[in-house]
Structure 1
Amino acid sequence: RTDGPAFSYHPDKLSMERTENAAFGPTDRIGQLTMRNLDIADSRARLEQYADQPVDQGQVLVEHGTLFGELPAGGAETISANPGAGDETALEAAAMEEGTD
């Protein structure tokens, strides 16, 4: 099993690393937009980690020791949960009928 405290892609998000209670498996299709949202959420989580780092330890992706604008914690969870997505059953069925996702 892959381990680490702050991976960009946590092992639990990768189906090949999960065997129990997997969100999706080899027979499932996951849309490109879903993968992009997870990528954005991962990037946001990393930026939140950098923003929380004490200035005296140095910061990554900042100029003169401060982030541009505020970056409140918790945004990554909101992005991954995708509260505005609604029910995509009809879209998924149409995509499967047309052979696209």
Structure 2
Amino acid sequence: MRVDFTTARADLTRSAVTTGEPSWPTRNVLLERGLAEVFEEHPELAIAALHRAMVGADGDPDLLFGLAELSFLYGQAVAKPERYMAAAVYA
């Protein structure tokens, strides 16, 4: 199946900032940890679980990236400045 350049580029560069949805690497982190559905229903619980995993993994870069994106998205959804601050700290 062939996809035009614009569609492929948009799919590969998706991020919380560009599309308002988690990027593919962040989605993978959620899926690997069984937290994709948890994030949809209770984002604060998924973020807390990822934070614990990141601390246990000595600051794993994939987890940090995911935490930054998910904190940003959650901050947008609930309009809480502390969530944006968390996103900046994780980034």
In the superposition, the TM-score normalised over structure 2's length comes to 0.28
Q: Which has the higher helix share?
A: 2
TM-score (norm 1): 0.26
Larger Rg: 1
